[in-house]
Structure 1
Amino acid sequence: GLGAGKAADLTYWESAARMIADVSKSDKIVVEKSTVPVKTAAAIEKILTHNTKGINFQILSNPEFLAEGTAIQDLLNPDRVLIGGRETPEGQKAVEALKAVYANWVPEERIIATNLWSAELSKLAANAVLAQRISSVNAMSALCEATGADVTEVAYAVGKDSRIGPKFLNASVGFGGSCFQKDILNLIYICECNGLMEVANYWKGVIKINDYQKSRFVNRVVSSMFNTVSGKKIAVLGFAFKKDTG
């Protein structure tokens, strides 16, 4: 159907919104934590208001930025806490209420308040940019192999630039996991729905390079085994979803 393979699956989100509406007897602040498309908060608000009477709901976007292997540390000492709310007195009051919760352990300067749509898009944007860095260094690794350069040395030199930094500049087989590809595809779909085809094509390039890197690696392995893996055993050393994942 429309958006198949790219659009976010909001089945559980809608179910949760309807459950909240069913049990709510008084005014509520509802906080989005999941990575969702921009304007999802408006849909939540519509479900809640249409299925209740006389109850005021304020929807906040508070995306999580946890990473596998460092989740507890990311929660206790986050780079930032992002809270998006409506730009109304009621919306800002809800934002302040959630800020007060985080203020118990997060320094005030790390708590960022934005409008709803900025907060919803920021999580998608963060994951897309991280994936972009991975595809960038992997694309460079192919050029390094063709020219005799060492991608580790190139990445180190590039990462010493204070404007760039060293994180996510390790050449690899490509990104996997449950987030990056899913979120970029979702971002592509949002761009397409807004008529931004050039922007959608830009992000498609990140996935295209990632797929290329994976196939390139497999082809190298097969080539080194005389172009056949039939009847052969392959040992993979250091295979893991992510370094230091407990």
Structure 2
Amino acid sequence: GLGAGKAADLTYWESAARMIADVSKSDKIVVEKSTVPVKTAEAIEKILTHNTKGINFQILSNPEFLAEGTAIQDLLNPDRVLIGGRETPEGQKAVEALKAVYANWVPEERIIATNLWSAELSKLAANAVLAQRISSVNAMSALCEATGADVTEVAYAVGKDSRIGPKFLNASVGFGGSCFQKDILNLIYICECNGLMEVANYWKGVIKINDYQKSRFVNRVVSSMFNTVSGKKIAVLGFAFKKDTG
């Protein structure tokens, strides 16, 4: 379909929305937890309102910010909880209802209320910025190797800047996993759909550097083996894409 390879697959999301419409007998607050494109909540509203009669639905966006390896700690002691809702009396009442649930263990100052679209976009933006930091330090690692600088020392010095901080500044073979590339491609597609080609190209650059870093690393490995891996064994240490993920 349109956007194949970049747009989010909303098949299961649509199925869940239609199931909610089928079984609902009274007013409901429906909470998005998945990483979804901006305006997905609007589509949920249409499905629910067109397939039910006399039932009021309020859609909230409450994206997950859990990280693999620290998910339980992130849930119990989150940096922030983000809740987006409609800017109507009914929407704000729904936001307050979900805030009251989190208030049982999350300090009030960590609970952020926004409009629906800001909450939906914030999750994509967070993952894109984290991936951008990885691509930035990996790009710098290539320059360090070419000039005799040590990327570990450079990253340490840069990370000591209080405006930047040390996290996600470890040079590596590039990012993998189930989120970063998928979410950046989704962000690129959203930019393209809104005619923001320069913005889309910026995020494409993050993907290009990541692909370049992986290819560069493989080429270095092959070069160190006299340009052939035939009949040779290669040990991969730390195969999990992130520490403590098993």
C-alpha separation in 2, matches of 1:17 and 1:233: 50
Pairwise CA distance, 1:237: 2.2
Distance 2:22 2:85 in 1: 23
Please give the alpha-carbon distance, in whole angstroms, between the structure 2 residues aligned to 1:227 and 1:175.
25
Distance 2:141 2:243 in 1: 20
Query: Following the alignment from structure 2 to structure 1, what is the Cα–Cα distance between the partners of residues 180 and 235?
Result: 27
Q: Where does structure 1 differ by over 4 angstroms across 4 or more consecutive aligned residues? A: none
**CA offsets, 1:45-79, max 9 Å, x none?**
00000000000000000000000000000000000
Report the Cα distance in structure 1 between the residues aligned to 2:122 and 2:111, rounded to whole angstroms: 14
- For the residue of structure 2 that corresponds to 1:59, the secondary structure is strand
| TM superposition shift of 1:233 | 0.8
Gaps of 5+ in 1: none
SS in 2 for 1:188: helix
1:207 Cα deviation (Å)?
0.2
Deviation at 1:245, TM superposition (A): 2.0
Q: Is 1:196 aligned with 2:196? A: yes
Write the deviation string for residues 202-243 of structure 1: whole angstroms up to 9, x where unpaired. 000000000000000000000000101011111122322101
Which sits farther off after the overlay, 232-241 or 170-179?
A: 232-241
Aligned residues: 246
Normalising by structure 1, report the TM-score: 0.99
Aligned to 2:160: 160
User: Structure 2 stretches of 5 or more lacking a match?
Assistant: none
* Percent identity over paired residues: 100
Per the TM alignment, residue 88 of structure 1 is displaced from its structure 2 partner at its CA by 0.1
Q: Secondary structure at the match of 2:106?
A: coil
| Deviation for aligned residue 1:182 | 0.1
- Shift in Å, 1:115: 0.1
Instruction: Please list the CA deviations of residues 84-108 of structure 1 after superposition, one character each: whole Å capped at 9, or x if unmatched.
Output: 0000000000000000000000000
Shift of the alpha carbon at 1:2? 1.5
How much does 1:244 deviate?
2.2
Q: Secondary structure at the match of 2:29?
A: strand
Matched residues in 2 for 1:18 and 1:203: separation? 33
Corresponding position: 1:77 with 2:77: yes
Q: 1:56 and 1:227 mapped to 2: Cα distance?
A: 66
TM-score w.r.t. the length of structure 2 is: 0.99
Q: Distance in 2 between matches of 1:166 and 1:232?
A: 37
1:153-190 per-residue CA deviation (whole Å, 9 max, x = no partner) reads 00000000000000000000000000000000000000
